[in-house]
Structure 1
Amino acid sequence: MSKVPEQPPPEPEQPPPEHEQPPPEPELPEASSGLPGTSSGAPPRSRLRLRAALTCLALQFQATRVGAAAMFGTAAVTGLLPALAAWFGKLLFDEIGHGGDADTGRATALALAVAGVGAVTAVLTQLAGYLDEVVRQRLVVTVEDRLFARVNEFRGLRHFESPAFHDRLRLAQEASQDAPHNITMFSQSAVRAVATVTGFTGVLFAVWPPMVGLLFLVGGAAFVARLHQARRQAEVSEIVSGKYRRRLFYRGLLTDPRAAKEIRLFGLGGFLHTRLVTALGDATSAELRVARRGVLVQSGFALLNTAVTGLGTVVVAIGAAHGRFTVGDVTLFIAAAAGIQATFGGIVTQAGMAVEGIRLFGHYTDLMETPDDLGSGSDLGSGGEPVPALRHTIELRDVWFRYDPSGPWVLRGVNLTLTAGTAVGLVGRNGAGKSTLVKLLCRFYDPVRGTILWDGADIRTLDVARLRRRIGVTFQDYMAYDLTAQENIGVGDLDRLHDRDAVRTVARAAGIDEKLSSLPDGYGTLLSRVQVDDYDASPGVTLSGGQWQRVALARSLLRTDADLLILDEPSSALDAQAEHEINAALRRHREGRTSLLISHRLSALRDADVIVVMTDGAVAEAGTHDELMGAEGQYASLFTLQAAGYQDTRVG
């Protein structure tokens, strides 16, 4: 028999005295805005961006050391070649300018040198493009691999039920796709630019030194303006993140086959379409405002650059007319000015993309450093102790919980004991805290106050993965995976994913084996009409709601070695006959196991050893069915109300 402590006195309307209230919760491991660098005590933004840039550069070599080294080496050589070609061109034009006194052999050699530099440049350009693609592809795989490995390391649900975290995750995903490549492009452009500018600077100094200062002045101003533009674009990306998330939500609804029925029945298509377009329009309007400003600023600097180049060209041309410069000097100057201007323009554009990428990549590095959501502020939270088979009890002692420090209490001083080998039924109106209690038992969250004990050991000291291996759950909001029938059940115990006999055994217990066996490919049939593995693969099939619930039930039953079986509304989608059959099968399956049964259909809980009634997050009643009916309390009222709906004079 499960033991339930005596019912605590009713909670007063006003908050209890200070000594009876839960202490302040530890600070949650998440910045209030959900954006990096915004929490109090955070490092300066410049330091965070530098760290993000260095992290990304290091990742390039971690992803492919040889490829990254070859890419930067090729960029450096490619950057030097234009200045070399321009110098050979100057010498060629000077030689040709001698007229009849020109050395034909020297002119031919210089022409071949110009052509050779061009050929090498063409080959290295193609090689650089290939190396860039190699680094980009390897980098994307490396970054995304680490990102989702980190996501899988979050042991609880707090992050996944936080909209701010989903914004951060979306930005981190975008960063993992685009930011590393942008930073890679900038880094190799910077190497190439340094080589190019170094070569051409020497040329300009030899022809007309003031031109170097003018070009650097204008190019530097354009560089600073582009950096400011990039920062503004990144800020807008953060601001509109929520709008894009809503857009994805509405877009998903409009194409979700599960939502298609209600959308068409209730005529929601236009309503959701309007919401989608509004969210997208608000986001794009903000981005376009920044883009318009950027066009104006960059156009102004482009005109200024053109004016400076034109001025230098006029000065050199006049000097050539007066004999101070040769024709080769003029062509060299024009090539050098155009080369430096193009280099500045390219590096400015790449720098803007890199700064935006670095800022967004900060979301990636921030997420990678986000602490686990379990055990915050507690020495017990790390866990790691082995989890022995349940022999005695699972006990909740004075458990208080709420999802947010400013939110309402969902559980308020719950005391409950589940004795090994017995069945406990959990009853309560919607919002009473039943599903939250399940989340705490699975340790998706930790109590704000109080403890949950597994044979006397605080579950916060136990290894989370091993604890969950000892629990089988059919959730009320179960998943329908776009996988085969075999896999949909087999994921309940990955060690037996391909064990057809074990899968069929639990499918029979859940009353779904006959249906799955009759599918076109039996248990190998894809249970989806949305996803297919191959282009020419045969379409999958869909199941009814009740059939999906049986699949989900079989999934939880596959953990035959689970000590605790939790069934949260396991028959809500079944008809009366199917519910009767399933309840009978479940009684046989859970015999001798510790079970927690949650259902609004009280008749399904009559045979439980103890029935617990929850009200407003607290235990209101506890006892057997007969004891609670005799007490004429809340349970008796609810049971009588349900039974009245089935009473008929024609039924004896």
Structure 2
Amino acid sequence: MNGADSGARSTLALLKAAFALAWQASPWLLAARIGVALAGGLAPVAVAWLTKLLLDLLVDGGTTRAVVAVVLALAATTLVGALLPAVGNFVDAELSRRTQLAGRAQLYRAIGGFGGLGRFEDPDFQDRLQLAVSDGPATPAQVTSNGLTIAQSAVTIVGFVAALASMAPWMAVVVAVAAIPTVRAELTLSRARAAMMLQLGHAGRRELFYADLISSVTAAKEVRIYGLSDLFAVRMTTELRKINRGMRGLDLRELRMQAALTGIGAVVAGGGLVWAALSARSGRLGVGDIVVFAAATAGVQNLLASIIGHVARTHQALLIFTHFQQVVRAPADLAPLEGLPVLPVPPLRDAIELRDVWFRYGPSLPWILRGVNLTIRAGRATALVGLNGAGKSTIVKLLCRLYDPTRGAVLWDGVDLRRFPIEELRERLGAVFQDFMSYDLSAAENIGLGDVARLDDRSAIEATAERAGCHLTVEKLPRGYDTLLTRFFSPDEVLEGEVPSGVQLSGGQWQRLALARAFMRADRDLLILDEPSAGLDADAEHEVHTRLRELREGSTSVLISHRLSTVRDADTIAVLSGGVVTELGDHDTLLAAGGTYAGLFTLQASGYTASPDARAELHPSTGG
């Protein structure tokens, strides 16, 4: 199969997918739109022929009955032709809304189906994903609308060319051949424009990145403190200029092509009209024939110009729709083990084991884990300790199956995690990450999202908040648990005397809500706490870890904390360095061994008593 055949098959497949989505959204609206397109395509040809018949009747002395019949038919056809665009616009708009809704649901269902983080951390896929999210859901409706408009114009052109062929076959051939370079030129321009959009995808993302930094609440403090607004504005403008340069070149290329094609069209139309006038003078054509010929040549040229634009827009929409389809049809990023049946996830009875686990984020990237062997006993607390980049958070991602090991395996009571359904596995996990989410939702929802099945169970949410130590804080909010925790949205109803905006919590308060969200799953098989007290003051941190100790009692937990005093009560402490476990034991054992853990613990402890000069020589960081 050559490239042209492959491209044609690909285009047909995309057209089929777009129309299938429109059909799924509303079969009757799509059928109505097809009917409007057919009627709209035939109406101009019918008007031209009826006008010809009327003129011929008037010139040749036709009967009054025949003249009236043709006039009524012409009036009805003209009326229908005038109404069809308005009907078409209404059907188009409603079909577009429904198709976009169906497309957006399909897209986000596919995105939600990505079980891991690999897709989201792949820059190339991110470019594709951005195009799919920003423009993809609208493209099926655009393809359908433009495609049917092209079909409508094609029906009219075929009718007019048939009319020309009945009078001068050679003229019909000339008009048809003259259309070929127009279509080819527009397809070439569409490919170039779509390729440029993909090529400039990185620049577009960077431009949006800097624009968001300048305008977002999240970055507002640092941007103003450090005076970064001008710097980011310059960088944003630089990326925008890069995009504009690429698009300007395409626009100039299109202008030159359009000028040449317009010249060809003018020559064809002008030559045809000269021939028609001479033929009428010699008696070979009648008055009605001249009208049809003029309508046909002008109509074909105008419709070709219209088709050019719609073909370009359809082709460009199809290329964007390609990204939409590639996201929607992307294979599973976390595949089950081949040749082995999928198993239900049993309650954890014995242990989770990392067996000779190697991991890196890409084939050309360095190894993060290098043959890690670690056993996390059921009902015990295991702490992970190490310097930044040692691989602690990566192990957490593997335990949550956000990634699969590059080599080796993570075993749940001896069974590889890849044999379990991802959703079912995660139902047995609870987690607080150091980069936890702050949802622009109510306080109750921010907690209840930890267990969607109990999202509306207010008593469970309040009890969990009590355990996390944030119940009183939430109770004091303007609307208690119903308070909207954001300034981006306003409450649906503003109470008398109430400020019409949500509430913004402090970092420590958000931390407690994130803990409460994890506590909604406190009864699960594995609780993961990745820097659970980051951002809290000393008193709050002590209180949180006291509650965590109570919560972890008798349950399986994995704890990461840069403050070693908070992990000393763990049953097992694993020290990671260079992607391997270098020390393993409880606090007393590791302290007595005098190794890395003992050194780090001593350094941190001395930070509370040593002089500033002595502390300056220490490097107690163990986060990350």
Q: Quick one: which amino acid aligns to residue 301 of structure 2?
A: Q
Identify the match of residue 595 of structure 1 among 531, 543, 557: 557
Q: Which moved more, 1:343-352 or 1:486-495?
A: 343-352
CA shift for structure 1 position 285: 1.6
Higher relative contact order (CA 8 A, sep 6+): 1
Give the CA deviation at 1:189. 2.2
Deviation sequence 1:286-329 (CA, Å, 0-9, x none): 12211211121022111221221112112212222333323222
Task: Indicate the SS of the match to 2:230.
Answer: helix
* 1:29-40 equivalence runs, <5 A: none
2:355 aligned with 1:397: yes
Shift of 1:102: 6.6
Counterpart amino acid of residue 623 in structure 1: G
Which residue in 2 is equivalent to 1:58? 20
| C-alpha distance in structure 2 between counterparts of 1:258 and 1:170, whole Å | 21
Out of 529, 537, 541, the residue aligned to residue 575 of structure 1 is: 537
| Aligned match for 2:480, one of 504, 519, 522 | 522
**Aligned position for 1:647:** 609
Contact kept, 8 Å, 1:612 with 1:621, in 2: the verdict is yes
CA-to-aligned-CA distance 1:166-212 (integer Å, 9 cap, x gap): 11112223452342233212321233133212322232223333321
Matched, 1:630 2:592: yes
Q: Can you give the 5+ residue segments of structure 1 that lack an aligned partner in the other structure?
A: 1-40
Q: Is 1:185–1:350's contact at 8 Å kept on the other side of the alignment?
A: no
2:360 and 2:6 map into 1 onto residues whose CA distance is 33
Contact 1:182/1:350 (8 A) holds in 2: no
Secondary structure of residue in 2 paired with 1:115: helix
Measure how far apart 1:69 and its partner are: 1.6
Question: C-alpha displacement at 1:104, in angstroms?
Answer: 5.1
Does residue 415 in structure 1 map to residue 373 in structure 2? Answer: yes
Contact 1:79/1:192, CA 8 A, preserved across alignment: yes
Q: Indicate whether 1:425 and 2:373 are aligned.
A: no
Equivalent position SS for 2:450 = coil
How many residue pairs were aligned?
A: 604
Distance apart, 1:383 and its partner CA: 6.9
Shift of 1:105: 5.1
Task: For residue 108 of structure 1, report the CA deviation from its aligned partner.
Answer: 4.3
Query: Which segment drifts farther, 532-541 or 296-305?
Result: 532-541
1:437 aligned counterpart, secondary structure: helix
Q: Which residue of 2 aligns with 1:68?
A: 30
Note closer, same or farther for the CA distance 1:206–1:462 as it changes in structure 2 (3 Å cut).
closer
Aligned to 2:607, the other structure's residue is in SS state helix
What amino acid maps onto 1:354 in structure 2?
T
SS for the counterpart of 1:120 is: helix
Measured after TM superposition, the shift of residue 60 of structure 1 is: 2.3
Paired letter, 1:449: R
Partner of 1:572, secondary structure, is coil
Aligned mates of 1:174, 1:530 — CA distance in 2: 21
Instruction: Measure, in 2, the Cα distance between the counterparts of 1:177 and 1:460.
Output: 32
1:181 to 101, 125, 141: 141
1:367 aligns with 2:302: no
Q: Is 1:450–2:412 an aligned residue pair?
A: no
Structure 1 residue 513 displacement after superposition: 1.0
**SS of aligned partner of 1:528:** coil
Q: Hey, what does 2:515 align to over in structure 1?
A: 553
- Residue in structure 1 matched with residue 227 of structure 2 by the alignment: 267
Question: Which residue, out of 251, 259, 283, partners 2:243?
Answer: 283
Supply the distance in 1 between the matched residues of 2:84 and 2:493 (Cα, whole angstroms).
Answer: 38
Residue number among 361, 364, 379 corresponding to 2:338 in the alignment: 379
Distance in 1 separating the partners of 2:610 and 2:309: 79
**CA shift at 1:409, angstroms?**
0.7
User: What is the alpha-carbon distance in structure 2 between the residues aligned to residue 325 and residue 201 of structure 1?
Assistant: 17
Aligned counterpart in structure 2 of residue 606 of structure 1, from 549, 568, 591: 568
What are the Cα deviations for residues 474-523 of structure 1, in whole angstroms up to 9, with x where unaligned? 00110001111000010000011111111112212222111111111111
Aligned partner of 2:296 in structure 1 is 336
8 A contact 2:591–2:598 mirrored in 1: yes
SS at match of 1:399: strand
1: CA distance, partners of 2:194 / 2:551: 56
Distance 1:287 1:540 in 2: 42
User: What TM-score do you get using the length of structure 1 for normalisation?
Assistant: 0.89
| Residues 71, 527 of structure 1: alpha-carbon distance in 2 compared, 3 angstrom cutoff | same
- Does the CA contact (< 8 Å) of 1:423 and 1:609 recur in 2? yes
2:417 counterpart of 1:459: yes
Structure 2 distance, partners of 1:336, 1:171, is 41
1:619 corresponds to which residue?
581
Partner in structure 2 of residue 491 of structure 1: 449
Which residues of 2 match residues 107-146 of structure 1 at below 5 A?
A: 107-146=67-106
- The percent of aligned pairs where both chains have the same amino acid is 43
Work out whether residues 383 and 460 of structure 1, in 8 Å CA contact, stay in contact via their aligned partners in 2: no
**In structure 1, what is the Cα distance between the partners aligned to 2:494 and 2:540?**
37
User: Structure 1 residue aligned with 2:281, among 321, 327, 331?
Assistant: 321
2:136–2:323 CA contact under 8 A, matched in 1: no
CA contact (8 A) 2:178 2:264 kept: yes
Distance 2:139 2:586 in 1: 61
Task: Give 3-state SS (helix, strand or coil) of 2:110's partner.
Answer: helix
**Farther-moved stretch of structure 1 (502-511 vs 491-500):** 502-511
User: How far apart are the structure 1 equivalents of 2:433 and 2:322?
Assistant: 36
8 Å contact 2:107–2:137 — kept in the other structure? no
Q: How does 1:162-177 map to 2 (within 5 A)?
A: 162-177=122-137
Q: Check conservation: 1:320, 1:330, Cα contact below 8 A.
A: yes
Question: Which one-letter code corresponds to 2:447 in the other structure?
Answer: I
1:379 maps to amino acid:
E
Measure, in 2, the Cα distance between the counterparts of 1:474 and 1:113.
Answer: 74
Query: Would the aligned equivalents of 1:486 and 1:500 in 2 still touch at CA under 8 Å?
Result: yes
Which shows bigger deviation, 501-510 or 54-63?
54-63
Superposed displacement of residue 389, structure 1:
1.5
Q: Confirm or deny: 8 A CA contact 1:509 1:586 kept in the other structure.
A: no
Q: Structure 2 vs 1, CA of residues 356 and 331 (structure 1 numbering), >3 Å: closer, same or farther?
A: same
* Aligned counterpart, 2:164: 204
CA contact (8 A) 1:485 1:524 kept: yes
